[in-house]
Chain A
Amino acid sequence: MPETQSLSLRNVRAGYGSTVVLEDLSFDLPLGEKLSVIGRNGVGKTTLLATIMGLTKLHGGHIGLGGTDIAALRPNRRAHAGLGFVPQQREIFPSLTVEENLLVGLRPGAWTLERVYDLFPRLQQRRSNMGNQLSGGEQQMLAFGRALLTNPRVLLLDEPFEGLAPVIVEQLFHALLRLRDEDQLSIIMVEQHAKLALAFAPRTMVMSRGRIAFDGDSRTLIENPDRLDALCGIGATQH
């Protein structure tokens, strides 16, 4: 795999136990590229991120990160290799304070505690609160910050706006756009809100039944709502 590819999947088959969810999936994510992944419920979007992170059973294929095959590595080694993960349920550590949640996975790099507090000033105000004392939006900011402080090369975001009030979604999306424009981080964002997903990344992948149904320029889908509806279901353009 060329060094310019930060992440590369080749013929990946994966799932849970003997159940295969992802079928023969292949794609490359070049260094610094941002990719949105959309699709109907249950098509394997979350499984894709979990598989990259090593949290599912890999039945076949290769996963490369920066030229190294990471398919056989445990999740903690993948994190050290450069993967950062923001899971769908946020999974904040409740018995750690906000600041401890941020520092527990800290690795040296461009992202520092000060930089995360600059991106999410609310976290600095809540630094001494316990992880389980936060609102949904604050928890999502904390999950972002925790992943950023591992100083990853590739950030995996699983439905970061799920269950949040519109005003919070707007704040978080603004922070994500700042991250997109100011940082060389590669990002894969799985998202149900098609509008947000298409607005976030110049490249979008649509998944269907564990396979890639579309992988290309986001503008193609923005300019062709009928195709987006056909790929993601009627009403996708309304989200």
Chain B
Amino acid sequence: MLTAALTIIFHGLAFAMVLYIVSVGLGITMGLMNFANLAHGAFAAAGGYVVVVATKALGWPFWAALPAAFVVVALTGAVIERLVVRTLYGADELRQVLFSIALLFMAIAGFTLAFGPLQQQPEIPAALSGQIGAGGLEFPAYRSFVIVAGVLILGALWLLIGRTRMGMRIRAAVDNRNMAEAIGVDTKLLFTMTFALGTGIAGLGGGIGADVLSITPTYGQEYLVLFLIVVAVGGLGSIFGPFVAALCIGIVDVAGKYLIPEFGAFFIYGVVIAILLAKPAGLFGVRS
């Protein structure tokens, strides 16, 4: 019984960390720019493909491929923000949704053309391929790495958003964009940087989490609802909210599928509905 509980918690944590790493950037950009980016998952998939190409085709070490995924996807995000997304700030939700859905489907078509329809796996270093023992139990090393990476990214984001001038300005702009502008914050530049950061972290999440959420062309579409749930339950513009939401969703989902698989995703959506009824702005949201 204890072994089963620990197994559920471990795999739930690994799943939760991938959800968190991919979704947290979406929460920040939605909170800051009020832009419903349904193509966010495509940036995560792009990060996954960067790691696949870097480790398999280019022979790069996995540890060098991960920062490359962040940089490539962040730069791509910055270009897309400057060229297109910027024109949609303040637009009605339907236009934003149609644009980002179109971007998502274009990405799916592009990934299929470039990498084929099948799932891709990056080259994992030997140190992460086996099992690690703890308290008489064995845990997959790679998933242990995913859990540690999720916690480290939470810490790094907490430092960035909570302890730096840029983070202070991001929080101020999330609270009140006009007032932030009126005290001298260049919100246009801040938006580009934040969009790049958010998509870059998603790309990193796609690379780190390739073993948990497989990299396929339809990745962004397949897991979109989960990413949106993490953001909605956690709260827009929050760093900790999506972390707590991802933990709830990851562990409840794994527990439900492990213990009563016939109920499918019943529990996860039940939890979501209950939380949003009680707290419409999410657990830590600035606004709904």
Contact = CB atoms under 8 A, between A and B. Distances in A.
Contact of B181 (A76, A101, A103, A147): A76
B179 interface: yes
Interface of B: 165, 168-169, 171-172, 174-176, 178-188, 237, 286
Contacts of B168: 96, 100, 103-104
Given A79-B183, A95-B286, 4 more contacts: A55-B182, A74-B188, A87-B182, A147-B183
A74 B188 CA distance: 10
A134 to B, nearest CB: 14
A204 to B, nearest CB: 25
A94 B165 CA distance: 16
Contacts of B286: 94-95
Interface in A89-123: 91, 93-96, 100-101, 103-105, 107
Nearest to A85: B182
A85 B171 CA distance: 19
Contact of A95 (B174, B179, B185, B186): B174
Interface of A: 53, 55, 74-76, 79-80, 85, 87, 91, 93-96, 100-101, 103-105, 107, 146-147, 150
A101 B185 CA distance: 13
A54 B180 CA distance: 13
A95 B180 CA distance: 13
Contacts of B186: 76
Contacts of A103: 165, 168
A74 B181 CA distance: 8
A76 B185 contact: yes
B185 A105 contact: yes
A53 B169 CA distance: 19
Nearest to B286: A95
Contacts of B188: 74
B179 A150 contact: no
B264 to A, nearest CB: 37
Contacts of B169: 104
A59 B187 CA distance: 24
A80 B184 contact: yes
B184 A150 contact: yes
A12 B237 CA distance: 38
Contact of B179 (A80, A91, A100, A107): A91
Nearest to B189: A76
Given A55-B178, A75-B178, A95-B286, A85 B172 contact: no
B187 A87 contact: no
B182 A79 contact: yes
A107 B183 CA distance: 10
A137 to B, nearest CB: 19
Contact of B176 (A74, A85, A91): A91
A14 to B, nearest CB: 16
Given A95-B286, A96-B168, A104 B183 contact: yes
Contacts of A105: 183-185
Between A75, A101, A150, the greatest number of chain B beta carbons within 10 A of the residue's beta carbon is seen for: A75
A95 B281 CA distance: 15
A80 B183 CA distance: 8
B181 A75 contact: yes
Contacts of B165: 103-104
A94 B183 contact: no
Contacts of B187: 76
